[in-house]
Amino acid sequence: MKRNFSGSTLRKRMDPSESDQIDSRDFENRIDACTALQSDVPLAMVEEILLNLPAHQVVRVCRLVCREWKELVDSASHWRERCRREGIQPCDASRTPEDWRLFYFLAKNPRNLLKNPSADDGLQGWNLIQNGGDRWEAHGNRRAFPDNTVTKCFVTSYMLCLKRQLIDLEKEGYNAAFMDQLQPHIKISDWYTARSDCGSKYQICVELLDRRKNPIRTFQPEKVTFDYGNSEPWCQMTHAFKEYGPGVRFIRFTHGGKDRQFWAGHYGIRITNSSVEICPAAERHELLLR
């Protein structure tokens, strides 16, 4: 005997508020529901229901029901329509994604590609390429940070301190075809401040590299100098790489500084909350201006 399930029944069984973790019994129940629905409902209606379900469940559950459903979920039109409904558009409208599913998930889940950006794990994840004076250390913030969840920072000493991370884009899920075709914006942010009782210098260099690690584009502004007695709050350095051309495979992020008075200890520049983000989709305020 056939079991009939309405669209509302299926949506209830696949509630988007449920955890991403699907146990085996729940998985079997959902497959049963999808299989029953598959025999009773036209594909056009099935596709509409799929578009109203959470994307991760459509991929993990619905795609496994039958060949027709797999073709629906794998189709570029399904993910292109999801993007349209959710207002997700490429930064450059003239460059449309070849893989709309990859574009959708990467646009929906932007993340900081730097490890340990706010000194929560000491100096882990960073390559200390200059470690002068009394060396890099991780301290608590002496000056309140705009985001009160950021409580630590990296501090420098009386000789130059520089640290670096090399980001392998393919290992992070951004393959060559995606980077070359879409050329998503690459956004850089870095926060820095100085002690009021000592002058200091801050510097940053961010490079987009090809597969041989040769620079394609470089962001290296002039060094920032603080005088003794300054009372400036935390400052933010930002930059967005755009229209950088094909071939970007790595990002090399280097920053640091020193104090200007050669005092023993850690009186130099302070840095925290650094970030590198790949942003393939146009931001909503940009869309509103069009």
Same domain for 158 and 37: no
Percent of the chain with pLDDT over 70: 83
pLDDT for 231: 81
Q: How many domains does the chain have?
A: 2
Together in a domain, 216 and 259: yes
Q: Are residues 133 and 68 in the same domain?
A: no
Name the average pLDDT for the chain: 86
- 151 with 97, same domain: the answer is no
121 lies in some domain: no
Q: What is the CATH number of the domain that holds 102?
A: 1.20.1280.50
Mean pLDDT confidence for 232-253: 96
Reference 16, options 76, 60, 69; nearest CA is 60
Distances from the Cα of 63 to the Cαs of 29, 30, 59, 60, 227, in angstroms?
15, 11, 5, 6, 61
pLDDT digits (tens, 9 = 90+) for 90-145: 988 888 898 999 999 999 988 999 999 999 999 999 999 999 999 999 999 988 99
pLDDT (tens digit, 9 = 90+) per residue, 32-54? 555 555 556 677 888 888 889 88
Whether 183 and 262 map to the same domain: the answer is: yes
Q: What percent of the chain has pLDDT over 90?
A: 64
203 pLDDT more than 90: yes
Domain presence at residue 81: yes
Q: Does any domain span residue 89? A: yes
Stretch 274-285: mean pLDDT = 86
Q: Are residues 136 and 85 in the same domain?
A: no
Q: Give me the domain span that covers residue 160.
A: 127-288
Which residue has better confidence, 17 or 129? 129
In this structure, is residue 2 part of a structural domain? no
- Choice among 14-18, 133-137, 253-257, 272-276 with the minimum mean pLDDT: 14-18
Domain match, 100 and 131 both:
no
Q: What is the pLDDT of residue 37?
A: 53
Task: Tell me whether residue 113 is in a domain.
Answer: no
Instruction: Flag whether 187 is in a domain.
Output: yes
Summarize the confidence of residues 162-179 as an average pLDDT: 96
Are 92 and 135 in the same domain? no
CATH of the domain at 204: 2.60.120.260
| Domain end position, chosen among 80, 108, 136 | 108
Task: Tell me the per-residue pLDDT of 76-91, one tens digit each, with 9 for 90 and over.
Answer: 999 999 999 999 999 8
Asked whether residue 250 falls in the same domain as residue 155, the answer is: yes
Same domain, 142 and 104: no
